[in-house]
Chain A
Amino acid sequence: MSQEAGHLSGGAAIYMRYPVRASIATAGIGIKALTDGVGVDAVTTTAAEDVVGLGLDVSTYTTTQATIAADIADGMRSYTGLEMGRMVTVSVRPDLLIRSLISGSSTEGTALQSLVNTSASAGGTVVTDADVSDNDMVGGIVWCVGGNNVGHARQIASDTTTAITVTVPFPRAIAVGDKFLQIPYSGFGTGGADIDGASFLQFTTLLNQADASIAAGTGAEVQVFRLELEGASDSRVLYTFRQHQWNRHTVPS
């Protein structure tokens, strides 16, 4: 799910309806403009350019001409839904904050990989586990969900396939058996190498959740606003679309 979680500048949302270029199968996904003038379409898992906003309902695209219903009860006419079905309602403010559930894979609702530390770190800087992601998570976040440092999070400074290292140590020693979670997102960073966790996010297959199994700094163009770091199945990321159609003045092209 990707929810409307407010606006950076506050105030009320603005909803507009747009014709669709292709069927929109899922509610709560990014909607983007296209160059063919037919209508809007969903973003892809790895790109969110020329975004119009967050889609709020589903639509079926067809080029069949609408048929007026023969049954005109009470003097009313109807399109039989065909014409109205070809449009999608979009929340269009460029400062919209979108709140997406974090998934552990491209499949929606997958729990994050739990890391169980296998080597003590008295200095509180190294988390060791063979289940550390093979992808580059530098610039992302690791946080403790079981053991000495529950509730504490650190940005990942370097990683291998078996260990994560942080620069600022966790407040207490990391013991064998302590549990951690990792994601490729961060609340701050310029987008440069190894500080790119705040600038990109890859969507899951249905486009309505964040796929945390990919490398930091890859995926669609967003700006992370806030992280809700909870458990493996209920953590969320809040972000805005950097490449919003009405936000071009802030976007390097």
Chain B
Amino acid sequence: MNTFIPRGPKLGVGFTKAEKIASEAIHPQHSALKGQSRANWISDLVALRKVVILCSYCRVKFNPRQAGYRRVYIPDYTGKTDGYTVNGDCDSCRVFTPNAGGGCAFQPEELYEATHIDPVVARRQARARAGLKSISSAISS
């Protein structure tokens, strides 16, 4: 006879609401079709214009420019990362990226501005608001 005991700090304590929500998250290995290659999985993500998450090992195999994607930048207030680090389940090798040296994410170009900051544009706008000249033009003037 099988006996199922809910997970928790004490016997009889069930899952928390947060644990239930976390368990609903989709891991690639549960969603990919039997026989579907990882390359095909990523090409389907690209076709649907979905975010692509890759670990540090698989990142070099993906050409974002060819697919019309841009690497996601998120400001890091502590400066511990360069802002281009994003963690999640790697869409290629399925590893949880913190276990593989950190990961990164790619967003379709057409959605990038709606969801993420471009550091170059942000700095250019800030300097324009402050009325600052570029270094090269300040030197030549």
A and B: bona fide binding partners? yes
Chain A residue numbers with a CB within 8 Å of B44 are 78-79, 81, 84
Q: Which of B40, B51, B81, B114 contacts A12 (CB 8 A)?
A: B81
State which of A3, A68, A83, A85 has its C-beta within 8 Å of the C-beta of B116: A3
Interface contact A15-B87, CB-CB below 8 Å: yes
Q: Are A27 and B79 in contact (CB under 8 A)?
A: no
The range of chain B's interface size is 35 or more
Contacts of B115 in A (CB 8 A): 1-4, 27-28, 54, 56
User: Which residues of chain B are near A52, meaning CB under 8 Å?
Assistant: 21
Name 10 extra pairs, CB < 8 A, besides A2-B114, A52-B21.
Answer: A7-B77, A11-B80, A12-B76, A12-B87, A16-B22, A28-B111, A37-B24, A57-B50, A77-B35, A81-B48
**29 pairs, A vs B, C-beta closer than 8 Å:** A3-B114, A3-B115, A5-B117, A6-B76, A6-B77, A7-B77, A11-B76, A11-B81, A12-B74, A12-B76, A12-B81, A12-B86, A12-B87, A13-B74, A15-B87, A16-B22, A16-B89, A28-B115, A39-B24, A57-B107, A57-B111, A68-B33, A77-B33, A78-B33, A78-B36, A83-B31, A84-B31, A84-B50, A85-B48
A residues engaging B (CB < 8 A)? 1-19, 26-28, 33, 37, 39-40, 52, 54, 56-58, 68, 75-79, 81, 83-85, 87, 89, 99, 208, 230, 245-246, 248
- Interface residue ranges, B against A (CB under 8 Å): 17-18, 21-22, 24-26, 31, 33-37, 39-40, 44-45, 47-51, 53, 72, 74-81, 85-89, 102, 105, 107-108, 111, 113-117, 129
